[in-house]
Amino acid sequence: MEILSPYKEATDVILEAGGEPLRLCYQCGICTGSCPWNLVRSFIVRRIIHEAQLGATDFESEELWLCATCRACVQSCPRGVEIIDVMRALRKVVTELGVAKVPDALRLSVKNISGTRNPMGEEQEKRADWAKGLNVKPFTEGTELLYFPGCYPSYEARDKGIALATVSILKKAGMDFGILGVKESCCGELVRKSGNEAVFQSLVESNIRVFTETHVKRILVSSPHCYNTFKNEYPDFGGNFEVIHSTQLLLELIKEQKIELTKELNRRVVYSDPCYLGRHNGIYDEPREVLKSIPGLELIEMPDSREEAVCCGGGGGRIWMETKKGERFSDLRLKQAIELGAEVLAVACPVCMCMYKDSQLSVDKGEAIEVKDITELVQEAM
């Protein structure tokens, strides 16, 4: 019988890969208690940290790939352990040292990003196709605002409405904006969290080069994931840009009366805080204020809202991976919205949008509710 002994070499490898925060953990278990996975299956986050502390990590376990990086655990952690960084370090060890297999679906998406700069594997040349016929100007030096839709609104059918609505609003507001189109690369946020630091850094390098060449100052993003990495991670690589999320810009435009919401939308709407807008960046009020500015719109708070919002399950690269039916948080969240009698589930993230639209297909009465991005709702009210 083999009795476990601490294996410091494994711990050292994990620490070096960015797992230093694990030292602080005093094993209270609130991370496990806060993790949305435990709504659908057992996922003992605390044990993963302790195993890493002792070098006893099972690198072949599928558990290393479960974390959707929603930050519920980090938020509650009494020691301030950056658990997401520890998960990322574990994935990095697998990815870079080959101590186990990276899940196939993830490997494919990362390969696509590496090749054509988007996880779908679509041609890079088609990145600006969504804007065909809309007369959107290319961003050049001197343009005030860069609109960076991100991979999903550019390529994914379910999310195209976001880009279209955003452009329509920007034009009506008379904003001076442009897009980089085929010169854009994936922002890299999900790739980094999935453990592939090398691909992430090559994306960062490419984007910063393009932004610097064209003298980008202010970037408007549709995705809170792009928001998070441009704002909080790109500066480490010399990329310092002002970033604004569409809900923040919308509120600005409404307050400055650059757009007017005149059409009534008499709908019962619920809003699910995206993890990367809410818990990661503290933006809870702006999206709500925008929704409340829409005449006729009845905003109902969901149970588990704001800091306690339930993740859609797409972050951390999980949007690219298969999640068993019965284990999808987006199903639960959609059910919550339906139970509240909501007609619209409003989102502020293309990843959320994708996940919830998928859930609509499998959840009972899923088609009875509409999943809309806040930009789409605002455009409808103009």
Partner 1 sequence: MEDVKIGVYICHCGLNIAGTVDCSAVAKYAGSLPSVVVSRDYRYMCSDPGQDLIKNDITRLGINRVVVASCSPRMHELTFRNACQEGGLNPYLYEQANIREQCSWVHDDKKVATEKAKDIVRAAVKRVYFHEALEVKEAPVNPNVLVVGGGIAGIQAALDIANGGKKVYLVEREASIGGHMIQFDRTFPTLDCSECILTPKMADVGHHPFIELLAYSEVEEVSGSIGQFKVKVNKKARHIDESKCVGCGVCEQKCPWKVPSEFEMGLGKRGVIYIPFAQAIPNLATVDAEHCVYIQSDGKKCGACIKFCEAEAVTPETLLNQSDQIVELEVGSIIVTTGYDQFDPSVISQYGYGKYDNVLTGLQFERMTCAAGPTGGKIVLNSGKEPESVAIVHCVGSRDQNYHEYCSRVCCMYGLKYAHLIKELANAEVYEFYIDMRCFGEGYEEFYKRLSEEGVNFIRGKVAKVTDRAISDEEKGKLMVVTEDTLLGKMIRVPVDMVILCAALEARSDADKVASLFTLNRRADGFFLERHVKLDPVATPTDGVFIAGCCEGPKDIPDTVAQASAAAAKALSLISKGTITLESAIANVDETKCLGCGRCEEICTFHAPKVVSKNGVMVSSINETLCKGCGACAVVCPTGAMSIRHFTQEEIAAQVGALTELS
Closest approach, Cβ 44 to partner 1, in A, equals: 5
Which residue, 48 or 348, is less far from partner 1 as judged by CB?
Answer: 48
Which residue, 200 or 329, is less far from partner 1 as judged by CB?
Answer: 329
C-beta of residue 178 within 8 angstroms of C-beta of residue 124? no
How far is residue 347's CA from residue 332's CA, in Å, rounded to a whole number? 15
**301 binds partner 1 per the rule CB under 8 A:** no
How far is residue 24's CA from residue 14's CA, in Å, rounded to a whole number? 14
Distances (CA, A) of 172 to 129, 177, 255, 260: 21, 12, 15, 9
SS3 label, residue 178: strand
CA dihedral 24, 25, 26, 30 (to 10 degrees): 140
Closest approach, Cβ 302 to partner 1, in A, equals: 12
Closest approach, Cβ 286 to partner 1, in A, equals: 20
Output the six-digit token pair for 189.
């946020």
Closest approach, Cβ 359 to partner 1, in A, equals: 20
How far is residue 321's CA from residue 107's CA, in Å, rounded to a whole number? 10
Subset of residues 5 to 44 that bind partner 1, contact rule: CB under 8 A:
26-30, 32-34, 38, 42, 44
Which residue, 63 or 156, is less far from partner 1 as judged by CB?
Answer: 63
Applying CB under 8 A, which part among 57-65, 239-247, 258-266, 302-310 lies near partner 1? 302-310
**46 binds partner 1 per the rule CB under 8 A:** yes
**285 binds partner 1 per the rule CB under 8 A:** no
**289 binds partner 1 per the rule CB under 8 A:** no
Single residue of 20, 129, 252, 307 touching partner 1 by CB under 8 A: 307
Applying CB under 8 A, which part among 77-85, 120-128, 185-193, 373-381 lies near partner 1? 77-85
Residue 220: φ, ψ to 5°? -100, 125
Distances (CA, A) of 31 to 49, 53, 77, 168, 349: 10, 16, 6, 42, 25
Subset of residues 127 to 156 that bind partner 1, contact rule: CB under 8 A:
none
Q: In the beta sheet, which residues pair with residue 347? A: 373
Q: Which residues bind partner 1 (CB under 8 A)?
A: 26-30, 32-34, 38, 42, 44, 46-47, 76, 78-80, 303, 307-308
